[in-house]
Amino acid sequence: MIKPVSLCLLTGLTALALQGPLAAAETAPRTTLVLDASGSMWGQIDGVAKITIAKEVVGDLIRRLPDEMEVGLTVYGHRRKGDCNDIETLFAPAAHQKSDIVSSVNGISPKGKTPLSAAVLKAAEALKYTEEKASVILISDGEETCSLDPCAVARDLEQAGIDFAVHTVGFDVIDAETRRQLQCLAAETGGTFHSAHDAASLAKALNSIAEEKPAPERAHLDAPASAPAGAPVSVGWEGPAKEGDFLAFVERDGNADTLLSSADLREGSPLSVQAPPAPGPHDLIYVDYATGSVLARAPIDIQDVAASLSAPSVASAGGLIEISWQGPAGGGDYVTIARAGAPLPESGFYFDVAEGSPAQLQMPSAPGDYEIRYITNTDPRVILAHVPLTVEDVDLTLKAPASAKAGTSVKVLWNGTTNPKDYIAFALPGEPLPHVVSMAETGEGNPLSVPVPDTPGAYELRYFFAEGDRIVQRIPITVE
């Protein structure tokens, strides 16, 4: 896998329009260029090294800035391999040093790792981002390879900065996790995310960021202060409602890239969003799908919830039992039966809690130790309650004539389970399962009319459980 190739332009170019005449120098904030010189920059696009593409595009950008604009240069990964501390400020922000910066960029030879977050912090501090307006343009084809979390760093910079934003460009990014990381870095600071796959699209992305930026779109969320874990939460929202925009839960102070549950805005406002299964402080966010930007955020505490089940301790194989339950009743929550102690996602017969309480549950055909479970339809699913249950084999009988005429039908009396899909069949003795010559489902009546095979000979009448095609009783019958 190619390691991150990151070229970072930490700059406030929002007042510059690179497609036309350059704005006056006094309108441009101080700028620092941060260049990732990690070894992965030797990776190629269409036969050209990414470092070569970066040098050409960035060199052209720097040469077009006003001479009076204060520009600096920070580089990392250019001196040592495997060193997350290999970060060097080659030029402090100052005017009239563009040519020297371009010469230094052209002389870079990639070697090391990608301490991207630490380099962003170092350059932001050199820009005095806590005192003056500053912005960052980060170009990257990969993720942070050192210890810091880019999303956490972005939140800290946004909180401490004065009109501070990070704009990110995904350079030949394929990995979805890397893309989410770059989107998060922009979203947490009010910046924008762009994608580039070659020199032309990289230049276009830089120019797009450098042009006068319109005010960011805004959204508003109206959500309760708390909600039970796994329960549906009704959320009122206002926002641009562009295609793909959605609401999602994330852990507060956790990984902002990890979406715990989400809902598409097409269902309107208010919108039902499934609460996460784990209790604790969370945020509900409005996400602009196109850019990954978070347009609104509302804190919500997820509270621990409990569920309970009332069921018989013993049941007959293949039968029905009645179960009463209490729980959060989230959309898609269900009650099921599984082998005792089996981990999720094992599940057998089930019913949706939307059916109400009590409800009936079909039993498996095989006897043994099981448990009834209340399961939340969350990501991941959680077993909120479980009770043990023993499934015992049934004392099933069949009654039929000892013989029957070929091509007719025979009446069979039976006592078995309450599953109407169970069936009684003619089969040849000794034939492997689930060999069936003719059959009828028990739901069709008792006595049950079963078609007799056309070929005379010795047969068996077999009672099959529908689940698992298990034979639970058999008697001989001759077809004449």
Sequence letter at residue 438? S
Q: Residue 31: beta bridge partners?
A: 71
Cβ atoms of 351 and 324 closer than 8 Å: no
Supply the pTM of this predicted model.
0.45
Phi, psi at residue 450, to the nearest 5°?
Answer: -110, 130
Around 190, how many Cα atoms within 13 Å sit in the side-chain half-sphere?
18
352 contacts: CB under 8 Å, gap ≥ 6? 332, 333, 334
**pLDDT (tens digit, 0 to 9) for every residue of the chain, 480 residues total?**
233 333 444 333 433 333 333 333 344 567 777 787 788 778 888 888 888 887 888 888 788 777 888 888 888 788 988 889 988 988 888 889 989 999 998 999 888 888 878 888 887 888 888 888 777 777 777 777 888 888 888 888 888 887 777 777 777 777 777 777 777 777 887 777 877 777 787 777 777 776 644 445 778 999 999 998 888 899 999 888 888 889 999 988 766 567 888 888 887 889 989 888 888 999 999 998 877 888 999 999 999 888 999 999 999 888 889 999 998 887 789 999 999 999 988 888 999 999 999 999 999 888 999 999 999 887 678 899 999 999 998 888 899 999 999 999 999 999 877 778 889 999 999 887 768 999 999 999 999 999 999 999 999 999 998 877 788 889 999 999
Distance CA 160, CA 477 (A): 87
